[in-house]
Amino acid sequence: MKKIIMLSLVLMVVVSSIAQARPTSPVSLEYDEPENIMAGQLVTTKVRVIANTDLPSITLSASAYSGLLLISGNEETVFTNLKRGDSREIEVTIQLDNDLGYVAMQIASTDTMDRDRHQSLALRFGSPNTTTLSKMRSQNTIVDSSGQTLELMQAEVN
């Protein structure tokens, strides 16, 4: 058994928690998240689709998930014959109802072994205010005698 007793102070630690994930869809998504969006304001942003592997086909669909209207960009878009590292862009225009909203992005791809893969993720617009944060927290929460915070859910009688 070997032991590392101490690390030199010359160095900066850059890695803490490492997430090990399932294989992702072979597509990554990036977008320019607009800042300081006001409710009712029309905001347009570019969404970049990046192929992480050679992909004969990518189908991209955007829809309003919550808290906003998707003004444009909701048509299904198909990109073909992408090589690893290739990227494509679409543009979406949204209008927030209030402080926080999401566009749902559905990505379907076919890889070089003819396998279909799906991915669903959300693009966030805006940031939650204190009212939104408060609403997200369950009102049915207590601290029990062991000090544990419990979110209570009523059972159904069989």
Partner 1 sequence: MKTFFPVLGLSLVIVLSACGGGGGGGTPAAPTTPAPAANVTVSGKVTYTDFNISAAGIDYANPTNKPIRGAVVELHNPLGTIVTAANTTETGGYSFSAPANSSVVIVVKAALGTATAPETRVINNTNGDALYTLTMPVTTVTSAVTTDFNAGSGWDTASTSFTGTRASAPFAILDTIHQGRLFVQAADSAVVFPALSVQWSVTNKTATTQNIAIGDGPGTSYGDPNMWLNGAPNLDTDEYDSAVVAHEWGHYFQSKLGRSDNPGGDHTTGDIVHPSLAMDEGFATAMGSMITNDTSQINTFKFNPPMADVLLANIENDSRLDTDIDIAFTNTSQLDGFYSEQSLIEVIWDLFDSGTEAGDTVALGFTPLYKVMTNGHKATDAFTSIYSFIHFLKLEEPASSAAIDAILEAENISMAGADEFENPAVFKLYTPITVGATETDDSDGDPLQTFDQWGAATTANSGGNKLLNFRFFKITIATEGCYTFTATPTANADLVFAPTGLDGGVVNEVESTTSPEVFSTDFEVGTHSIAIGAHSDDVFFTFGAAVAASPTLCD
* Stretch 126-155 residues interacting with partner 1 (CB under 8 A): 128, 132-133, 136-138, 141-146, 148-155
Q: How many residues does the chain have?
A: 158
Tell me the one-letter amino acid at 120. Answer: S
* Nearest distance, CB of residue 41 and partner 1, angstroms: 19
* Nearest distance, CB of residue 140 and partner 1, angstroms: 9
Q: Give, for 108, the enclosing helix (H) or strand (E).
A: strand 100-110
Q: Which of residues 6-25 bind partner 1 (CB under 8 A)?
A: 6-15, 17-25
> Judged by CB under 8 A, does residue 156 bind partner 1?
yes
The first and second tokens of residue 106, run together, are 């559905």
CB atoms near residue 52 (< 10 Å): 16
Q: Which of residues 18-77 bind partner 1 (CB under 8 A)?
A: 18-26, 28-31, 33, 52-54, 65
> Judged by CB under 8 A, does residue 3 bind partner 1?
yes
Q: In this structure, are residues 24 and 55 in contact, taking their beta carbons and an 8 Å threshold?
A: no
CB atoms near residue 97 (< 10 Å): 15
Beta bridge partners of 100: 126
Tell me whether residue 61 or residue 93 sits nearer to partner 1 (CB atom). Answer: 61
Q: Which of residues 91-130 bind partner 1 (CB under 8 A)?
A: 100, 102, 104, 106, 111-113, 115-124, 128
DSSP 37: P
Binds partner 1 (CB under 8 A): choice among 72, 84, 87, 91: 84
CB atoms near residue 134 (< 10 Å): 10
* Nearest distance, CB of residue 134 and partner 1, angstroms: 11
